[in-house]
Chain A
Amino acid sequence: MSKFLVALIPLLPLLGFLIIGLGNKKLSKTLVGFIGCGAILGSFIIVLSLLFPFLNGTAKGETLSYFDWISVGNFKISFSFLVDQLSVIMMTIITGIGFLIHVYSAGYMSHDEGYARYFSYLNLFVFSMLLLVMGSNYVVMFAGWEGVGLCSYLLIGFWFKNTEYNNAAKKAFIMNRIGDLGFLLGMLLIFTTFGTLDYLEVFSRANSVQENSTIIIAITLLLFIGATGKSAQIPLYTWLPDAMAGPTPVSALIHAATMVTAGIYMIVRSNVLYSMSEVTLEIIEIVGLATALFAATIGLVQNDIKKVLAYSTVSQLGYMFFALGLGAYSTGMFHLTTHAFFKALLFLGAGSVIHAMSGEQDIRNMGGLVKKLPITFGTFLIATLAISGIPPFAGFFSKDEILAHAYEHAPFLWGFALVGALMTTFYMFRLLFLTFFGKFRGTEHQRSHLHESPLVMTIPLMILALFSIIAGFIGIPEVLGGSNFLKKFLSPVITSQGAETYAALSHAVEYRLMGASVGAVLVVIFITWFYYVQREVRPAKEGEQISTPHKVLYNKYYIDEIYNSIIVKPLKWFSDKFYSILELKVIDGFVNSWGKGVNLGSSAIRHVQSGSISFYLLVMVAGIILILLINNLI
């Protein structure tokens, strides 16, 4: 593995960021698009050259050290990358999907005045995300972790003239910071416990700590808090739906395919530690499942096309965490991979719809787009089938693996997970039917503008659709004649023992589970079709009477309001009080009194400087006499 080539992977996007960022005003749009996409394509090609040796099984994980980053006493952090099966998968997703979304953006953002700014941020994001997954120690990961947080902030608030968007950006940033604090504390705890922050060293020293001891529970929980922030899990998930304020390709790249999966990557990376703490795994499992169901119920009644997808993302991330909590790390990675394709596709498809609808995002004002946007519809349909878990689309295999793990763990968990999956099917098909079927419900002005997106946007859609169909084949279970390639592929990285006992299920049980879930999904699709296409039921308009449960769901369980009144408002009250009492009176008083003292002293002593030479000489002589006196006394 060439050190130089590997270094180029994150460096190319960084260079792209610098060139576009510094040459902002001077570069033409074409050149900006070319540099922005070219940098990611370059990285992608290098990543592929790394991926294939790993797929053949000829390459092994390798740590590449570049330089000592921090070196103080015994504390040493090297700037180094760890290239192994796990990071290569992540790098492929980031650069591959990243490249497609860059290309799509070139079309989507072509009329925006902030075109260059957009591409510079996007390149910076890819750089940070690559740093996050390539680092060989927690510090490099943390640097990337913070970097993607910053880019997310910048891109959510990309249209900064809108105050609401800015607030959404701030909300995302602040909630992420809460999680980051947990991550940081977890890191510090790892360092004080193991004396190093390098992954491989930490894992090799993990035996020095007892399983299920307080310290390992604390470390894993703190890291998990970091993950809940970045990956939008209960209780830190509310930023993600608001983050839809950013341009749609950003939602696809950052808030669906890559950044939000950082928490999952981090836990899979630290699986050795997590497998040592049953309590934490239980908590992850509960939080994951709860988030999956909770977000899915909200998604059922949302009317903003991007909001539905956002809650769907939260819900799917919940599934991934659920899998991790079950100890099925490779299954979590599997779902992460398939989800990255079909969710990016859904977002880009939504972007194509929004583009055609002149910025309209409310599905109540859409309908009948199937004829005007055939490619968008086709690809959107494939993604919807994939996320619903219809075989042989990608989502079927990964979701089925999660369900099987759940059943193996406890049948009632399987039940809950299936309910979540059915809700997913419902809201996705509701979205599909309301958007593409029936009559057009928008304004005349919108109707006249309806058009299929240009090729630069539809080609990425088609490529992603292809992968939404075939990506599941990397993890075909044995029962269907496959060999679960991904699980074997990741086995060098997932070294924790005894976690994956999925093989315990007999084939007969597995067939029955699959049949049940696919059958239930088909029934739900039919119900949805009957309801929204056959009977042409339309979601309630604003202000219309709706039932109480519906209202609660529509208002997202009032979670934002609850957070506002139990956390934000008391916090504001405290900070007001602290400001008016502690800050203004105590601290300012203390500080200012020093200032006044200095000024007073200054104005008093100033008069000694009288300008009279005889006085100066007098003081000098007095000083000399004093010095000689003191010197003789001691």
Chain B
Amino acid sequence: MNAIIILSSLGIIAMLAEMFSFKKSLWYLVLAGLAVVFVVNLLDWNLDTPEQQFKNMILFDNYAVAFGGLIIILVFAWFLISYNHYKDSELNVSDHFSLIIFSSVGALILVSYTHLSMLFLGVEILSIPLYILAGSMKKDLASNEASLKYFMLGAFATGILLFGITMLYGATGTFNIVEIGMYVQKSSEISILFYSGLMLVLIALAFKVSAAPFHFWTPDVYQGAPVLITAFMATIVKTAAFAAFFRLFSNSFGLIINDWNFILSIITALTIVLGNILAAYQTSVKRLLAYSGISQAGYLLMTILAVNQESSKMALLLYTASYSISTLGAFGVLYHVMKSKGSDSLDSFNSLGKTQPLLGFVMAVSMLSLAGIPPTIGFFAKFYLFSNLLSMGNTYLWLVIVAIVGSLVSVYYYFKVIIAMYAKEGAASPLMLTTFHRALLIIITGLIIIIGLAPGILVSMDNFKI
């Protein structure tokens, strides 16, 4: 709870930086603030009676702390990557930073809500800054278009979410997700209003995590938005949205899983297939990562199908962490390539492995991790995810097969990048990496490989229960 308050204050302070002209030191201030938020967040770990705040609207249980911690780390890493960008550019730093921080506040609310109105507020707080940030390259047509598209489709999805929440309230008389779960448990006959509400909420959340057939906004918005904002959307927003998705369904709808798992498994399969097939054709790496994000969302939905499994939370945490770290690594490289070559096409990656060995290596490791190839964290995350789903029996065997075939297809496009970097000839780029960025990229790659080699350090810790 205190984490949300401090982070919000940090956002306000960032806004004041322009006025009181401490823009130069703002970046350091934000990092320090985030470190404080991280520690404060951890203080809520393993409390005997987790705090209920604001009349049962927010609950910082271990689930919230774990995902909140992950989100804060990712935001921290995002700020590290974007260091040069805001230092060198004419952009209004204080506005940008405060918007990013406010969006992160939304993400924290989404992992900790217990009340449907907080779900709604979280989604809005998360999204509205991003509508603005997506259009932050004011003179760029694609950026403006992305902003407008994101806003319009987002507004539409918000409408559906509110509609669904209203119906759920109408059926149950409560907004509290735990009480909704109790309603499901107690009532002998569940009204049709309830099911319709459930479906509408599911659709709205599917939109937020860019699952098919509600994924159309993703490629256009990801490509149009500035690359760092895309990185933010692809990692932090997705992690928060999935955490919210899982939290709602495990608390409220776990008992009637048979009423919605069919639809969700179709959505999952469709997302995996469409995301992977469409990615295969892309020639823009940014767009490729967008489609990769769609297909990865398909894999993540598999944790929600296993919502009643105790280990699903771990699977979700592991997979979101793996996906986000690897994607951040990829975007980190993409950012440098775009800066030096001015293009995000696959061709601009040609011979990167030779001209910029470090960037090439980081990108290759990220791609391998996203494709799920050992010894990276991505392999273990996929393995854990699949075995988690299969431990429920053979109901979803077909889905796992689809997912594995999908992964095979994904190898094709992830390797297109690696092949371009190592096997194709291209002009050398005049790129100079600062030591700071080098260290950052090495740390990200190190994490991908070390956790991949020794996943035990994450999964089998005795007191790490979420």
A632 to B279, CA, bound (A): 33
* Chain B 198-237 near chain A by CB (<8 Å), digits 1 or 0: 0110110001000001101101100000000000000000
A299 to B5, CA, bound (A): 89
Q: Does A628 contact B (CB under 8 A)?
A: yes
> In the complex, which residues of chain B have a beta carbon less than 8 angstroms from the beta carbon of A445?
none
Q: Is the CB of B149 within 8 A of A613?
A: yes
A623 to B213, CA, bound (A): 6
Q: Does A545 contact B (CB under 8 A)?
A: no
Q: Does B257 contact A (CB under 8 A)?
A: no
Q: Is the CB of B277 within 8 A of A613?
A: no
> Which residues of chain B in 278-308 are interfacial with respect to chain A, using CB atoms and an 8 Å cutoff?
278-281
* Contact for B195 among A595, A613, A617, A631, CB less than 8 A: A631
Q: Is the CB of A605 within 8 A of B263?
A: no
Q: Is the CB of A620 within 8 A of B263?
A: no
A307 to B280, CA, bound (A): 58
Closest B residue by C-beta to A628: B199
> Which residues of chain B in 350-404 are interfacial with respect to chain A, using CB atoms and an 8 Å cutoff?
none
Best-surrounded residue of B152, B153, B207, B278 (most CB of chain A within 10 A): B278
Q: Is the CB of B219 within 8 A of A605?
A: no
Q: Is the CB of B156 within 8 A of A609?
A: no
> In the complex, which residues of chain B have a beta carbon less than 8 angstroms from the beta carbon of A611?
220
Contact A602:B277 (CB < 8 A) given known A595-B412, A611-B220: yes
A630 to B200, CA, bound (A): 13
Contact A609:B263 (CB < 8 A) given known A603-B281, A623-B203: no
Q: Is the CB of A599 within 8 A of B263?
A: no
Q: Nearest chain A CB to B14's CB is how many angstroms away?
A: 32
* Chain A 590-602 near chain B by CB (<8 Å), digits 1 or 0: 0000010011011
Q: Is the CB of A628 within 8 A of B280?
A: no
Q: Is the CB of A602 within 8 A of B280?
A: yes
* Contact for B263 among A598, A601, A622, A627, CB less than 8 A: A627
Q: Does B269 contact A (CB under 8 A)?
A: no
For this complex, 17 residue pairs linking A to B, each with C-beta atoms less than 8 Å apart, are A598-B280, A598-B409, A599-B280, A602-B277, A602-B280, A606-B281, A609-B278, A611-B220, A613-B149, A617-B153, A620-B156, A620-B207, A620-B214, A623-B213, A627-B263, A631-B199, A631-B263
Question: Which residue numbers of B lie inside 8 Å of A, CB to CB?
Answer: 148-149, 152-153, 156, 160, 192, 195-196, 199-200, 202-203, 207, 213-214, 216-217, 219-220, 259-260, 262-263, 274, 276-281, 409, 412
Contact A627:B203 (CB < 8 A) given known A598-B280, A613-B149, A613-B153: yes
Name the 6 nearest CB pairs between A and B, nearest first.
A602-B281, A616-B216, A623-B213, A602-B280, A601-B277, A598-B280
Q: Nearest chain A CB to B298's CB is how many angstroms away?
A: 15
Q: Nearest chain A CB to B371's CB is how many angstroms away?
A: 15
Q: Does A634 contact B (CB under 8 A)?
A: yes
Q: Is the CB of B207 within 8 A of A598?
A: no
> In the complex, which residues of chain B have a beta carbon less than 8 angstroms from the beta carbon of A31?
none
Q: Nearest chain B CB to A361's CB is how many angstroms away?
A: 43
Q: Is the CB of B409 within 8 A of A634?
A: no
Contact A598:B412 (CB < 8 A) given known A603-B281, A620-B216, A628-B196: yes
Closest B residue by C-beta to A602: B281
Q: Is the CB of B160 within 8 A of A624?
A: yes
> In the complex, which residues of chain B have a beta carbon less than 8 angstroms from the beta carbon of A595?
412
Contact A598:B277 (CB < 8 A) given known A619-B213, A620-B207: yes
> In the complex, which residues of chain A have a beta carbon less than 8 angstroms from the beta carbon of B277?
598, 601-602, 605
> Which residues of chain A in 32-73 are interfacial with respect to chain B, using CB atoms and an 8 Å cutoff?
none
Q: Nearest chain B CB to A615's CB is how many angstroms away?
A: 8
A19 to B263, CA, bound (A): 59
Closest A residue by C-beta to B216: A616
A619 to B156, CA, bound (A): 13
> In the complex, which residues of chain B have a beta carbon less than 8 angstroms from the beta carbon of A628?
196, 199
Q: Nearest chain A CB to B260's CB is how many angstroms away?
A: 8
* Contact for A602 among B148, B260, B278, CB less than 8 A: B278
A627 to B409, CA, bound (A): 27
> In the complex, which residues of chain A have a beta carbon less than 8 angstroms from the beta carbon of B217?
616
> In the complex, which residues of chain A have a beta carbon less than 8 angstroms from the beta carbon of B152?
613, 617
Q: Is the CB of A617 within 8 A of B412?
A: no
A627 to B262, CA, bound (A): 10
> In the complex, which residues of chain A have a beta carbon less than 8 angstroms from the beta carbon of B276?
598
A627 to B160, CA, bound (A): 13
* Contact for B278 among A605, A617, A631, A634, CB less than 8 A: A605
Q: Nearest chain A CB to B163's CB is how many angstroms away?
A: 10
> In the complex, which residues of chain B have a beta carbon less than 8 angstroms from the beta carbon of A606?
278, 281
Query: A623-B214, A631-B195 given. 9 additional CB < 8 A pairs?
Result: A598-B409, A603-B281, A616-B216, A617-B156, A622-B213, A623-B203, A627-B263, A630-B263, A634-B262
> In the complex, which residues of chain A have a beta carbon less than 8 angstroms from the beta carbon of B219?
609
Closest A residue by C-beta to B202: A627
A632 to B283, CA, bound (A): 41
A606 to B274, CA, bound (A): 10
Closest A residue by C-beta to B212: A623
Q: Nearest chain B CB to A628's CB is how many angstroms away?
A: 6
> In the complex, which residues of chain B have a beta carbon less than 8 angstroms from the beta carbon of A630?
262-263
A433 to B349, CA, bound (A): 68
A368 to B216, CA, bound (A): 90
Closest A residue by C-beta to B260: A631
> In the complex, which residues of chain A have a beta carbon less than 8 angstroms from the beta carbon of B263?
627, 630-631
Closest B residue by C-beta to A630: B263
Contact A624:B278 (CB < 8 A) given known A617-B153, A631-B195: no
Best-surrounded residue of B199, B281, B412 (most CB of chain A within 10 A): B281
A603 to B196, CA, bound (A): 36
A630 to B213, CA, bound (A): 15
Q: Nearest chain B CB to A253's CB is how many angstroms away?
A: 34
> Which residues of chain A in 321-362 are interfacial with respect to chain B, using CB atoms and an 8 Å cutoff?
none
> In the complex, which residues of chain A have a beta carbon less than 8 angstroms from the beta carbon of B153?
613, 616-617, 620
> In the complex, which residues of chain A have a beta carbon less than 8 angstroms from the beta carbon of B160?
624
Q: Nearest chain B CB to A601's CB is how many angstroms away?
A: 5
Q: Nearest chain A CB to B329's CB is how many angstroms away?
A: 25
Closest A residue by C-beta to B224: A611
Q: Nearest chain B CB to A71's CB is how many angstroms away?
A: 12
> In the complex, which residues of chain B have a beta carbon less than 8 angstroms from the beta carbon of A602?
277-281
Contact A599:B281 (CB < 8 A) given known A605-B274, A616-B153, A628-B196: yes
A598 to B200, CA, bound (A): 32
Closest B residue by C-beta to A601: B277
A620 to B208, CA, bound (A): 13
Closest B residue by C-beta to A631: B199
Closest B residue by C-beta to A623: B213
Q: Is the CB of B216 within 8 A of A619?
A: yes
A407 to B93, CA, bound (A): 97
> In the complex, which residues of chain A have a beta carbon less than 8 angstroms from the beta carbon of B202?
627
A616 to B219, CA, bound (A): 12
A487 to B263, CA, bound (A): 76
> In the complex, which residues of chain A have a beta carbon less than 8 angstroms from the beta carbon of B149?
613, 616
Q: Is the CB of A627 within 8 A of B278?
A: no
A599 to B160, CA, bound (A): 35
A602 to B416, CA, bound (A): 15
> In the complex, which residues of chain A have a beta carbon less than 8 angstroms from the beta carbon of B409?
598
> In the complex, which residues of chain B have a beta carbon less than 8 angstroms from the beta carbon of A632?
192
A613 to B154, CA, bound (A): 11
> In the complex, which residues of chain B have a beta carbon less than 8 angstroms from the beta carbon of A623?
203, 213-214
Q: Is the CB of A624 within 8 A of B216?
A: no
A628 to B219, CA, bound (A): 26
A485 to B203, CA, bound (A): 85
A628 to B200, CA, bound (A): 8
Q: Nearest chain A CB to B208's CB is how many angstroms away?
A: 13
> In the complex, which residues of chain B have a beta carbon less than 8 angstroms from the beta carbon of A619?
213, 216
Q: Nearest chain B CB to A595's CB is how many angstroms away?
A: 7
Closest B residue by C-beta to A614: B152
Q: Is the CB of B412 within 8 A of A627?
A: no
> In the complex, which residues of chain A have a beta carbon less than 8 angstroms from the beta carbon of B203?
623-624, 627
